Each structure stands twice: as structure tokens, then as C-alpha cells.
Amino acid sequence: MSGAGRLGRSTAARSTCPLHPRSVSLDPPLVVLSFAHTSKTWPILRQARNWGISILAEGMESVSQDLRRPTDERFSGLKTETVDGAVFLQGVLVRIRVASRSEVESGDHTLKLLDVLDLECDDTRDPLVFYGSRVRTLAPG
């Protein structure tokens, strides 16, 4: 399914949507996330088998602010969907279902390497970008 307002299935290797987290490998498709040792979210995620990574689209600035709330309030009032144990925000630009592969302690952070199991991308929208300590949108091409 592809088209305006719907998510189209794609592989990580063919996707035209920018990936955040950082893409590490296309074959096999891998991504990496970095967690501060002081993170309150990391101990919870560390126990999960599958994760859902949601990348916000333009127009989702209020959701971005909601996600900055304390861990126990972060998803309050936000619409989510669970797919094979991975939780996603609804209405996002990109949904990446991942599984744990390995982790490396790196200074005051842990780098978590994840296998990409599935990637869905809405090619009709643009991403919300966090740059220079604030949320921005891309300039028209």
C-alpha cells in the first residue's frame, strides 16, 4: 500500500527516507542507537526482544514535545500501535521494527546494534528534524 497518508512497505536498502537512528549496514540491514548510562528508558528497552522505532513527520512538533516528558508520562495521550511486540506511534513518517543484535559499552553510553526486521515509509511526507537544539522542517527543494 502506498499513497498519500498511508504507509508503503519498503526494504531498508531501497528506502528513500532518511534513517535516524544511524544506518550501519544494508546487507544485512542494521541500525545503531546510543543510550546514556543515566537514561531511565534504556533499562526498560534493554529487556525487550523487539523494538519499534518511529520517525516523526512534519506537523508532529507537539508529539516531539510530548516525548520529552518524564519516562512514566512520555506516551500519555499519544496513540500507539503494537506490531509483533514492537510499539509504534501512529501517523509517523517511518516505522522500523528491530531486534537486538549486540551492544558495546562506549564511555558514558551504550551502543546498541539492531537488526532491521521491517521498515515502512510514507514517501509522500518529509521528516521532522532535530538540529541546533530545536525542531525544524526541511526547506522546500
Segment 3-19, tens digit of pLDDT: 333 333 333 333 333 33
The average pLDDT across 129-136 equals 78
Higher-pLDDT residue of 131 and 3 is: 131
Please report, rounded to a whole number, the percentage of residues in the chain having pLDDT higher than 70.
83
56-93 residue pLDDT tens: 999 998 888 888 788 778 788 889 999 988 989 999 99
DSSP for residue 79 = -
CB neighbours of 12 closer than 8 A, spacing ≥ 6?
A: 19, 23, 26, 29, 31, 96, 116, 119
